[in-house]
Amino acid sequence: MLDLQWIRNFSLGTIVIALMALLSSFGVLLWKPAQRDGLEMWLFSLEHEALYRKVVAERDAAGQTHVNLRVLSMPALERRMLSGFFGGLPTADLLEVERQIAGRAFTGPLANVGFADLTDRLRASGLIEQINPPSFGPWTNRGHIFGLPHDVHPVMLGYRADIVEAAGIDVSQIETWDDFARLLRPLMTDANADGQPDRYLLGLWESDADRLDTLLLQAGGRYFDDAGACVIDDEVNVRALATMVSWFTGPDRFATDVPDFSAGGNKLKEDGYALAFLVPDWMCNIWRMQMPGLAGKVKVMPLPAFEPGGRRTSVWGGTMLGIPKTARSFDESWNVAVDLYFSEKLAKDLYARNDIITPVRSHWDDPVFDVPDPYFSGQAKGRMFIELAPQVPLRTSSPYYKLARDSFRDAAAAVAEWARATGARGPDALVERCREELVRARRVVSRQMERNVFLEVNR
């Protein structure tokens, strides 16, 4: 007879949990997940997914391969992508990823990059000629293109036209940042006589990693050379950093902290606490949704240049569509990618709904980009962004980009703290300290890069 006396040594809860674990284990062994028909596409944007549903429906109606769209959070998408690429596991048939996530795929040797190389297919199809060349930068690694660019994201200066124009200031006279500060400085009044301006000219602070990065690119700076080595302490970067820190330190400062993507920052913008901000195309839609009270009060203009004749735009953000090497069918995935990223209708919808201009140059003549925008005081801002698109600076695809960007921000914070403590003012007084901090930043980034056993392969 079976002796069950030992069972009395366990509580009822323990026994129930053990039975559930046993049954679930059998279930896992016996269950075979149903394979969904069609291709899998992972993306992080609900707005993009809403646009793509139309294309998927049209493909279904035409009897083409169905595409299952799955929206994931960016952290989840990054984890699944990296675990698939570096663990040899299947992912999706198409991955739409943001710039910082995509760069992580390029950490190892070229042969181990999890995305399929699209270079030959782009050339053979002639599609490479249709895309704005600088837009390939973040998705090109060691001379190979691993993703189709979703966007261009040129940057302009969004400013309070109601305040500026009421003061009789003609912004067409602004070519450089020096012009910007000189012409608009009279607007930094101190009506309450507390010794501090009631408003500032520019939203910029040492904690703004993205804005500092955007301005560094405009100035011609870079974090890595063509061989992939860290050059964050390059003299161009030193001078650019000194110039930017001088804008938000010292008695002559004209920039202040107005954060993006926050209720507090939006209130400061609406109150006119700062007059101008860096505005990539996608930011226009955020302003419209989050600050409707600024409708008709704001305009955009090309960025003031760092030097006369210099670049009048920059770039902020970016997304690509890539095909993992584990995709069930490269050709079917490629066809879907072309349907999504080269669609004229989708390009028009992308701008009409999200203010994002397409990188496909053959679509740039569409009248949708000439439609006056009431929010931006009737400007045809789409055409203005497109005119700047060919001038956006090249960007790195280094997997160490985020570390370098954040190290540059940390250097800016250190220099700003030193300037406030010592009373140093003006770019020339800050140059040597900027050089010291950027040398430290290079050491931080280089140490991390040296831990990569594939570093020589990367170069």
Report d(CA 157, CA 148) in Å as an integer.
27
Report d(CA 409, CA 26) in Å as an integer.
53
Each residue of 175-200: pLDDT tens digit? 999 999 999 999 998 888 787 899 99
Q: Would the pLDDT of 3 be above 70?
A: no
Question: Would the CA dihedral through 152, 158, 161, 162 be positive or negative?
Answer: positive
Output DSSP code: residue 276: E
| Residue scoring higher pLDDT (365 or 89) | 365
Q: 383: burial class by Cβ within 10 Å (0-12, 13-18, 19+)?
A: middle
Output DSSP code: residue 375: G
Q: Would the pLDDT of 444 be above 60?
A: yes
Q: Would the pLDDT of 28 be above 90?
A: no
Residue for token pair 């992939």 = 228
Geometric angle at alpha carbon 247, from 243 and 251, rounded to 5°: 120
Each residue of 92-121: pLDDT tens digit? 999 999 998 999 999 888 999 999 999 999
Mean model confidence pLDDT for the chain? 91
Q: Tell me if residue 51 falls in helix, strand or coil.
A: helix
Helix (H) or strand (E) holding 227: none
Report d(CA 135, CA 317) in Å as an integer.
11
Instruction: Give me the pLDDT at residue 1, please.
Output: 44
Domains and CATH numbers, the chain: 39-149+317-374 (3.40.190.10), 155-315+393-458 (3.40.190.10)
Give this prediction's pTM: 0.89
Give residue 264's identity as a one-letter amino acid code.
Answer: G
Each residue of 417-436: pLDDT tens digit? 999 999 999 999 999 999 99
Model confidence at 8, pLDDT cuts 50, 70, 90, reads: low
Q: Would the pLDDT of 368 be above 80?
A: yes
Instruction: Give me the pLDDT at residue 22, please.
Output: 53
Q: Are 84 and 91 in contact (CB under 8 A)?
A: yes
Report d(CA 207, CA 264) in Å as an integer.
16
Q: What's the average model confidence in pLDDT over 327-331?
A: 96
